[in-house]
Amino acid sequence: MRLTLRTLLAYLDQVLDPADIADLKQRIAASSVAQSVVDKIKSAMKDANLLAPSPMGTDMNCDPNLTAEYLDNVMSIELVEKFENRCLNESPILGEVADGHHVLKLVLQQPVHPSKARREKLHHIVDLAGVLKMAPAEAAFEQEAEESLPGNNSKDKPEAVTSETAEDSKPTSDPTVVMREERPMAEPLHASDIKAPEPLPVDKSALKSRNVDWRGVSIAGLGLVVILIGLGLFSLMGSDSDDPQVADLDTEEEVVETEVTPSETVEPTTETPAEEETTDTTTEEMIDTVETSETTDVSTGEITETATDSTPEEAASTEVMTATDETETTEETAEMTSTEGTDVATTETPEAGETPATPEENTPPVIPAIELGQYVSGQEVLLHLDPGIAERPDTWKRLPPRSVVYSKDRLVAAPTYTCDIELAKGLNLKLLGGTVIALGTPTEEDKLQLELITGRVVMTALKGDMQIDLKAKTQTWNIRFAEANAKAAVELTPILIPGSNPDAGNTAVEGNFHVISGNVVFNDGVTMATVVTPPGSGTLIPLRTGSPEIPEWIEEDNVSRIDEQAGQLVERELQSDDSVVFRLRELSLDRRIEVRLLAMRTLILMGEFDAAVQALGEETLRPTARSLLIEELRAALAFDPKVGQKMQESFMTHYREDGPALYRMLWGYTKNQLTGQENEAARLVGYLDHNDFVFRALSFWNLNDLTKMTFRYRPELSAERRGQYSARWRDALANGTIVPQENR
């Protein structure tokens, strides 16, 4: 280990291995220069009179970003020597580096785990900073607003009241002004306690002038609150407030949401808009009502009359008949069968120019999920996606231990974890890290259905004569466990066909089965395969027996120590009630590469690619980590072609117009594409000198994957240093040796 400044800092903070510490201790004792540097570091840390570098500095003397880059070991090689010399020559900078290293050591050894509520509160800081950072005119306005509040007028501070501020000096209960004053408290908004509102975006256009009509501000402010916080906040205000206007609005909202008859105070002959138009204009009606609430008493009749004026008279009469018919049958249809409910739905009258929606679009048949078993693991990470909800980032949740699993569940065992599921039919499933499955509905013969999307599963029969249908893409295998405690494993690896667009489904599958113990029979409908004397292995495609050996991953835990530690940290950070995607995105920015990789690999399995795609363009990312991310992205394209469009959108989000070209490099290449008319080999070699690092990284990965050669090229080198190695690749291109290794 070299005697560098960073090494000495690590030695002083005791963050190295014991053997390295002992070795460095001897070398420091034998070197007077090293001993003097150690003494200088200790002196700088103890000297309380040293001046701290300016946090706004931009040069090497006091730029805090350079200190952070040096401590995080991401500073370019060219700057490291200059920076270390500066540290040794100037005690303030040396003290900052040494103290920063010591603080990082404490943080890493005793990490803080903030609660969900604290994290959410911190996320409001940026928004609050934007509100608190007001222009001088806005600050003056805030002062006047504060003085105008009840109880804030002081007799010992008389001021001349001008015509401009005469109206403003009156006491007011304007919720907008109170919200601006109390917003830094970040408390939830209640109508009964309006001084503690929830932090919300504020329209500063209302604060640009000092000549403000307070009544106008009150009306506009309340309307702004309605627009921003929506129907949910109106419901809250309606329950906490005694204002009859708010109560009426809350009743109106409830009528629209539950699709029941209007309030009994409405006359039967009053014209009511059709259900579709009521839903579309609900927000507008509420806003109009609030804007007139200062001068007009709101009643149900007035609201109904306003809504009627917005539609033609003849159309309104037809819509009233339709809405009335539907209202009268609401209670009856609640007790009818699904077929009768469909018939009622088809009687709705569409608006002019619209095509009536089919019953299948309005009321799709809902197949109830069936309880299949229980997730029995403890400190593991099994992620769950409810297929009944559109795939949004907040639909993924961590499944708590002892949770019930259902048919149609899509489950992801995060890398480095092993998750056990006990099915009620008498089968135990062990999902190894990086496995994605989907549980199906049992057949009429009571056979279990399991779709293995990617990964490895170990199955153990808890009783004899146990069967399960295993599906993978278009293939299906019936697995029969003839006796209790029979044990088998399957592994499935989707493969991209080189040079083919994965969006079109041009993928393949490789799979193997392993019989560990007992009598287990595999049947694909044409061929049957079994291992007469376990253990033994075979292939799923085509189905046949093979080696008498089984892989080590079945019985042994092959997770490295550093990955195990990262897994423990991530497991603590992922709470069952948190949004998993949001938390993993935070962890993908962690300073520890093993934590970042685990978070990004898990996100890829969940179909979230932004973090990994962005990381490909980081020059400081280790080559092995970058290669792993590329392979994981390619695997995701192989096992689920539907994610191709989403992945391409991620590339375009981070790399703009270069996104499609970068996405293309994930497909791989055939010999004809490299050397034929497309001449992709020349394109890849040209990318080696591209100005953007991500082009150099992806092109080099492809060239190395195809030829298994490097020519000592590294994409993170400077243009001058990598030039000689790029020239070697150009020579290989001229010689025609850039072809897949199997085609040589």
Tokens 């048949």 belong to: 365
- Tell me the range of 274-278, 283-287, 663-667 where mean pLDDT is highest: 663-667
Q: From CA 134, how far away is CA 529, in angstroms rounded?
A: 75
- Per the prediction, the chain carries an average pLDDT of 73
Count of beta carbons in the 10 Å neighbourhood of residue 367:
10
User: In the predicted model, is pLDDT for residue 664 greater than 80?
Assistant: yes
User: What does the radius of gyration of the chain's CA atoms come to, in whole angstroms?
Assistant: 34
Amino acid identity, position 61 = N
Most confident of 104-113, 166-175, 218-227: 104-113
Which two structure tokens, joined as six digits, stand for 442? Answer: 């049992």
Question: Which two three-digit tokens encode residue 195?
Answer: 């001084």
State the pLDDT confidence band at 220, using cuts at 50, 70 and 90: low
List, for residues 524-537, the tens digit of each pLDDT value.
Answer: 999 999 988 899 99
Most confident segment among 255-264, 279-288, 603-612: 603-612
> According to the model, what pLDDT value does residue 163 have?
42
Task: Find, among 640, 641, 646, the residue nearest to 612 by Cα.
Answer: 646
Mean pLDDT for 35-54 is 78
Average pLDDT over residues 146-169: 45
413/437 Cα distance (integer angstroms): 9
Pairing of strands 487-496, 507-517: antiparallel
Q: What is the mean pLDDT of residues 263-273?
A: 41
- Residue 662 has phi, psi (to 5 degrees) of -70, -40
Q: Comparing C-alpha atoms, which of 217, 257, 214, 210 is closest to residue 234?
A: 257
pLDDT at 216 (0 to 100): 53
With a CB cutoff of 8 Å and minimum separation 6, the contacts of 283 are: 226, 227, 230, 231
3 state SS of 403: coil
Predicted pLDDT of residue 661: 95
Tokens read off for 611: 């973090």
pTM attached to this predicted model:
0.55
Task: Answer whether residue 700 shows pLDDT above 80.
Answer: yes
Extents of the domains making up the chain: 5-109, 122-242, 246-349, 371-550, 609-743
Q: How many CB atoms lie within 10 A of CB 36?
A: 11
Q: Which residue has the higher pLDDT, 101 or 412?
A: 412
CB 430 within 8 A of CB 422: no
* DSSP bridge partners of 398: 383
| C-alpha to C-alpha distance for 484 and 462, rounded to whole angstroms | 5
Nearest alpha-carbon partner for 703 in 723, 678, 726: 726
Residue 77 has pLDDT above 60, yes or no: yes
Q: Is pLDDT at 59 greater than 70 in this prediction?
A: no
Share of the chain above pLDDT 90, in %: 33
Per-residue pLDDT at 130: 53
174, 217 contact by CB (below 8 A): yes
What size, in residues, is the chain?
744
369: confidence class by pLDDT, cuts 50, 70, 90? confident
The better pLDDT of the pair 410, 229 is held by 410
Q: Which residues of 554-570 are buried (b: 16+ CB within 10 A; e: fewer)?
A: beeeebeeebeebbebb
The structure tokens listed for 16 are 């190295």
Of the candidate ranges 201-215, 457-471, 481-495, 714-728, the one whose mean pLDDT is the lowest: 201-215
pLDDT given for residue 507 in this prediction = 80
335-347 average pLDDT score? 39
Question: How, if at all, do strands 448-461 and 427-431 pair?
Answer: antiparallel
**How many DSSP H helices and E strands does the chain contain?**
30, 17
Mode of pairing for the β-strands spanning 410-413 and 466-472? unpaired
Written as six digits, the tokens of 53 are 């570098």
Q: What is the dihedral of CA 330, 336, 342, 345, to 10 degrees?
A: -10
Just give the CATH number of 371-550. Answer: 2.60.120.1440
Strands (E), 400-532: 404-406, 410-413, 419-423, 427-431, 435-439, 448-461, 466-472, 475-481, 487-496, 507-517, 520-523, 528-530
Which H or E run contains 139?
A: helix 136-148
DSSP states of 179-203 as a string? HHHHGGG-PPP-STTTTSPPP----
- The H-or-E segment that residue 451 falls in is strand 448-461
Count of C-beta atoms within a 10 Å radius of residue 346 = 12
Per-residue model confidence (pLDDT) at position 248:
42
Looking at residue 445, its pLDDT comes to 75
- What does the pLDDT average to over 208-216? 45
Asked whether the predicted pLDDT for residue 183 surpasses 50, the reply is no
pLDDT at 354 over 50: no
pLDDT at 162 (0 to 100): 42
452 closest CA partner among 416, 414, 504, 410: 410
Q: What are the φ and ψ backbone dihedral angles of 404, each rounded to 5 degrees?
A: -80, 140
Instruction: Compute the average pLDDT of residues 696-700.
Output: 96
